[in-house]
Amino acid sequence: MFEKKGGNHPDDLLSKPSQTHKACERQSGNFSDCSDRFLLKDKTFSRQYAHLYAERLWEVRPKVEASARKKWGKDIVIRKLHELKSDETCVVIGTLFKHMELKPSILQEISEEHNLMPQPVRTKYVDESDKLYLEDELQRIILMGDLDVQTSVTGVIIAVYGKEPEDDQGKFHVEKYCFQMLSDQVPRPVIQNDKYLVLISGLEIGSNEEQIFSLQLFVDMVTGMLGNSEEQSHCAEICRVIVAGNSLSSSTQDKDSLQKAKYLSKKTAAGSVDAVKTLDDVFTQLASSVDVDLMPGEYDPANYTLPQQPLHKCMFPEASRYPTFHTVTNPYDFKVEGVRFLGTSGQAVQDIVKYSTNEEPLDILEKTLEWGHLAPTAPDTLGCYPFYKEDPFIINDCPHVLFAGNMTKFDSKVFKGCGGQEVLLVSVPRFSQTSTAVMVNLRTQDCVPMQFAAPSTMEPNR
Amino acid sequence: MATDSMYLENLEEYVNDEGKIVTYKWLSLNLHVHVNEAKQMLYTFVEEQKKKKIHVTATYFVSGMCKSVDGCQTYTCTVIPEEELETFKNSLTTVHSIHVYSVQKAGLKDSNSLYLADYDCVKENLFEIHKYRSIKYEKAQPSSEAKRPPIKTAQEETKVSGTSSAASTNGHSSSNTKKDAKKGGIAGMFANAATKKADASKKADASKKQEIKAETNGTTTAGKADKKNQKDAKKGVANFFANHTGKKAAPKTMEVKKEENEEEAEKKKDTKPKQNGKGKRSKQARNGDSDEESNKKKRRRIRIEMSESSEEEMDYESPVPSPVPSPTREPSPVPDTPEKESPKKQEVSVKPSQNGEKHRKRRRKLVPKTFMDEDGYMVTEKVWESESTDASDAEPPPVKETPKPSSPQKKKKASPKKKSPPSTGSKKQTSLSSFFSKK
């Protein structure tokens, strides 16, 4: 991926000191932030989630209708559930609901009839007996047929083509289905030079497995301290670094201090305090050389519900002195050099993994593009803010790059949409596990993983 | 070149004699050279040492493309010891760069020591590292340190207020004014110290007059004024303390918090009497408030004095007596807290008493406060003891004679006379006690 400019002299620093060392200028990309819809303006939690679902259906229905007409012909009959006639082949549009036996339910937890059996924590809540329902504003109906229950999730707006048979009332037999069409992509401009954007996530400072030395190598590399001058000029082409969540580790969220007696935990500071100080140093070094966007993640000191609000700058007093340091929302939507990026810190993808048989993060990212929704399982199983008149997770503008942080490994794929769209799907791995960051070339939409290995075998020479 | 030979010698010293791990970053920051030059310096050093047959180990940074497990090209960057250099180079499809990362005497066990080798240096020079890098980013200009001044200004204010209040209090010979100043000092550390300095000095004078008025009139307004005087006096006192003591941060922060609570409490108390129209209710409210206030003040003073005990040589008289009159106004509504406070204060007084004369003084002041809240008799006795160590004591005799209900009144009388007159609203009672004290 790295094309050598001029001669390759990897060994040129294994020489006598010379006085001439040029410094190169950091590239800066034209940046514009499109995440305004993820910032919560008012925070009233006294609403019910029905508004969110209603809004979702209301907003997506026309698009799904257009997609259905395009796919199955303009003369199809679109019916609401209460208007269904038996044995009439028609199209129904509604929200998908997956009924899962093993899904943790608060009612079951506190139900005295069930003898208060605690529900075990599982990694997957899927079961053979899961059913799919289609719900619109007034009614719901069971779906049978070609729809794959196991890979579907709750909350997707779908159009199903089929009929309700006379002899099997209450069930809708599906022959075909479709989702919202991905909108046309705004073609990205042609960029002359190579410019890179680095994605990194899962730093997880504060845990035993934190890769602090690898992180320092990453910082040194991006800021242009490591490598010879050629390499440093390559790194000067990195115009932005996105930290996609989980900069603190889950162990800093330890709530044992709440359970312990006060006299035992009087002088113990929270684990997150030291971790945040370390992070502040890291980000200060980074911000002094490149634009940094920090997204909150599952284990970061931010709100739990999606969309997560930006971390407060008071946590990073030194780094905040640089205007190049930004704290942003999760999910994050922005444009650099005309390339539209959309990404999350991975909570939506992980939730879909839990509640369906989908495993591969890239498959799930692809599905979210097809479904047209970033986090369909919110608010059912994923914490979500009770929106009233909007659903900001609906994918209205097709991005050029869709990324999800905190995945188990690095992967990337180019998804080709039916409208000619090309979306680069990137799964950013956890740095604490893999010491790998991802470098995206804005010119070519290529993706290269950057791995920083610490010296593992160093024996004392004695 | 002079620098060249010098750095070689320096490196030799660092590595061989001090056993330090010298990384390129550390060298670059210490010798103020470009990072690439530092790497080259390290390399020449390693070569020189090899020629001299002196044993040093070096770690190298290697970066290149290698084929990962999945088959995709990964841009790898590693730091490896010298021994593995060749094998690693061969494992890469293309090599981008190699340079010396660090030089040390003995081999490294793990990456932590490498990380820690330049951790301190980096932390100190966090905002200067960018000078020695290869990449400059013009947008990244740190803003000035705007966040630190607020803390400093608070300290500066206290310094200034301390000096001015000291000047004002030094002029007064009586202990009352001193006590006033001290009370004001503690209270006023956080609000506009400058304005309150002037107020403190003025009110210190006015307070005496008001005390007399209070005794005769027993109006609520005077009581409030006394409270304010107390506040100002406390400010003066705290400033006085601040002046003489070197340490300001810890007691100040503690005082700040207490001050804020105190001010809020005082504000609430001030509003309460205003709201109550009737004299009795207002008086009771005031008294109740003053009780709580004095309790809080007592607690705070104890803590403040605890923190300042080792440092200060000031009179501890004023803070103690000032709240004394206020609680004594109402012997009946005695909350449980003062009882709890009294044992605490006893303990507190015990500790400082072991140290010397200064603590003796403390004892005097501390004890009376708490015990004033309690039932008259018990309290008075203790007051006696405490005051016996003091030279000026008109209180003991009148206290003995008076019955329980009047004893607090007497104390109120006595305390206002001697010390600062923060007593609010108990002027009627003080007038009675003044009658008795004449005997």
Of residues A12, A227, A454, nearest to B63 (C-beta): A227
Looking at residue B27, its pLDDT comes to 85
B316 neighbors B355 (Cβ within 8 angstroms): no
Closest residue on chain A to B46 (Cα) = A14
- Taking an 8 Å cut-off on Cβ atoms, the answer to whether A323 and B80 are in contact is no
Q: What is the pLDDT of residue A188?
A: 83
Largest CA distance in chain B: 106
- The count of CB pairs under 8 A between chains A and B is 224
Smallest CA–CA distance from B83 into chain A, residue: A458
Q: A294, A326 in Cβ contact below 8 A?
A: yes
Q: Which residue of A has its CA nearest to B116?
A: A213
- Of B60, B105, B52, B111, whose CA–CA distance to B82 is shortest? B60
Beta bridge partners of B210: none
In terms of CA atoms, which chain A residue is nearest residue B70? Answer: A411
Residues of A in contact with B105 (CB under 8 A): none
Interatomic CA distance for residues B234 and B301, integer angstroms: 10
A34 CB-contact burial (10 Å; exposed 0-12 / middle 13-18 / buried 19+)? middle
A220: chain B residues, CB-CB within 8 Å: 25
Q: If you write DSSP's letter for every residue of B252-300 in order, what string do you get? A: HHHHHHHHHHHHHHHHHHHHHHHH--SHHHHHHHHHHHHHHHHHHHHHH
Backbone φ and ψ for A396, nearest 5 degrees, come out as: -90, -45
Q: What is the pLDDT of residue A334?
A: 92
CA distance A252 to A302: 13
Q: How far apart are CA B235 and CA A233, in angstroms?
A: 61
Q: Which residues of B touch A318 (CB under 8 A)?
A: 126
What's the rounded Cα separation, in Å, for the pair B439 and B435?
8
Q: How far apart are the first and last CA of chain B?
A: 96
Give the integer Cα–Cα distance in Å for B273 and B270.
6
Name the residue facing A288 among B99, B123, B140 (closest C-beta). Answer: B140
| CA–CA–CA angle A377, A383, A386 (5° rounding) | 95
Measured CA to CA, the distance from residue A97 to residue B238 in angstroms comes to 68
Instruction: Note whether B129 contacts A: Cβ–Cβ < 8 A.
Output: yes
Nearest to B95 among A10, A229, A287 (CB): A10
Chain B residues with CB-CB distance to A290 below 8 A? 137, 140
pTM of the full structure: 0.65
Instruction: Please give the structure tokens belonging to residue A211.
Output: 């890769």
Write b or e for each residue in B58-67: b if 16 or more Cβ atoms lie within 10 A of its Cβ, otherwise e. Answer: bbbbbbbbbe
Instruction: For A210-329, list the strands marked E by DSSP.
Output: 238-244, 291-295, 325-327
Kindly state the tokens that stand for B347: 């303990």
Structure tokens belonging to residue B181: 């100043």
The per-residue pLDDT for range A296-343, each reduced to its tens digit, is 999 888 888 889 999 998 889 988 888 889 999 989 999 998 889 999
Mutate to test the interface with A, among B76, B134, B136, B147 (most CBs of A within 10 A): B134
Task: Give yes or no for a contact between A131 and A75, defined as CB atoms under 8 angstroms apart.
Answer: no
Under-70 pLDDT residues of chain B: 1-4, 144-430, 438-439
The 10 Å Cβ neighbour count of residue A418 is: 11
Q: Which residue has the tokens 């061989």?
A: B16
The A residues from 400 to 429 touching B (CB cutoff 8 Å) are: 411
Tell me how many degrees the CA angle B342-B345-B350 measures, rounded to the nearest 5.
Answer: 125
- Which distant-in-sequence residues (6+ apart) come within 8 Å of A91 by Cβ? A68, A72, A76, A77, A78, A79, A159, A160, A161
pLDDT tens-digit profile, chain A (462 residues) = 344 444 456 677 777 777 667 778 888 878 888 888 888 888 888 888 888 999 999 999 999 999 998 888 888 888 888 888 888 888 999 999 998 888 877 777 676 565 656 666 778 888 888 889 999 888 889 988 888 888 888 999 999 998 888 887 888 888 888 898 888 888 888 888 888 999 999 988 888 777 888 898 999 999 888 888 888 888 888 989 999 988 888 777 776 666 777 777 677 677 778 888 889 999 998 888 889 999 999 988 888 888 999 999 888 998 888 888 999 998 999 999 888 999 999 999 999 998 888 889 999 999 999 999 999 998 888 889 998 888 899 998 899 999 999 999 898 999 988 888 889 999 999 998 888 999 999 888 888 999 888 766 433 332
Residue of B nearest to A410 (CA): B70
Sheet of A401-407, strand order = A31-33, A332-336, A339-344, A401-407, A422-429, A411-416
Q: Judge whether B160 is closer than 8 Å to chain A, CB to CB.
A: no
Q: Which among A19, A10, A27 is positioned nearest to A289, based on CA atoms?
A: A27
Q: Which pLDDT score, from 0 to 100, does residue A5 have?
A: 41
**Per-residue pLDDT, B191:** 46
Which chain A positions have a beta carbon within 8 Å of B115's beta carbon?
A: 212-213, 216
CB-CB neighbors (< 8 A) of A213 in chain B: 79, 111-112, 114-115
**Nearest Cβ partner of A18 from B40, B59, B127?**
B40
Question: Sign of dihedral through CA atoms A54, A57, A60, A62?
Answer: negative
Nearest CA distance, B109 vs chain A (angstrom): 5
Put simply, whether B19 touches A (Cβ < 8 Å) is no
Cα(A305)–Cα(A298) distance, integer angstroms: 9
B270-287 per-residue burial string, b: 16 or more CB within 10 A, e: under 16: eeebeebeeeeebbbbbb
B68 and A451 within 8 Å at the Cβ level: the answer is yes
Tell me whether B145 touches chain A (CB under 8 Å). Answer: yes
Q: Which phi and psi (to 5°) does residue B149 adopt?
A: -50, -45
- Alpha carbon distance A402, A339 (integer Å): 11
Using DSSP, state whether A76 is helix, strand or coil. Answer: coil
CA distances from A81 to A10, A128, A155 (A): 69, 27, 17
Hey, which residues 75-94 in chain B have their CB within 8 Å of chain A?
75-81, 84, 94
Distance, CA of B190 to CA of B187 (rounded, Å):
8
> Which of A225, A411, A452, A462 to probe by mutation at the B interface, max B CB count within 10 Å?
A225
pLDDT at B296: 52
Q: Do B109 and A23 touch (CB under 8 A)?
A: no
Measured between CA atoms, the residue of chain A closest to residue B73 is A448
Place of tokens 């009376």: B368
Report the relative pairing of strands A291-295 and A325-327 from DSSP bridges.
Answer: parallel
A212 touches chain B (CB under 8 A): yes
Q: How many CB atoms lie within 10 A of CB A1?
A: 16
Q: Which residues contact A261 (CB under 8 A, 6 or more apart)?
A: none
Q: Report the C-alpha gap between A337 and A331 in whole angstroms.
A: 20
Residue type, B78: T
| Neighbouring residues of A238: CB distance < 8 A, sequence distance ≥ 6 | A26, A27, A195, A196, A197, A198, A222, A290, A439
CB interface of A with B, residues 352-411, below 8 Å: 411
**Contact residues, chain A, for B108 at CB < 8 Å:** 455, 458, 460
Select from B115, B126, B138 the Cβ nearest to the Cβ of A216.
B115
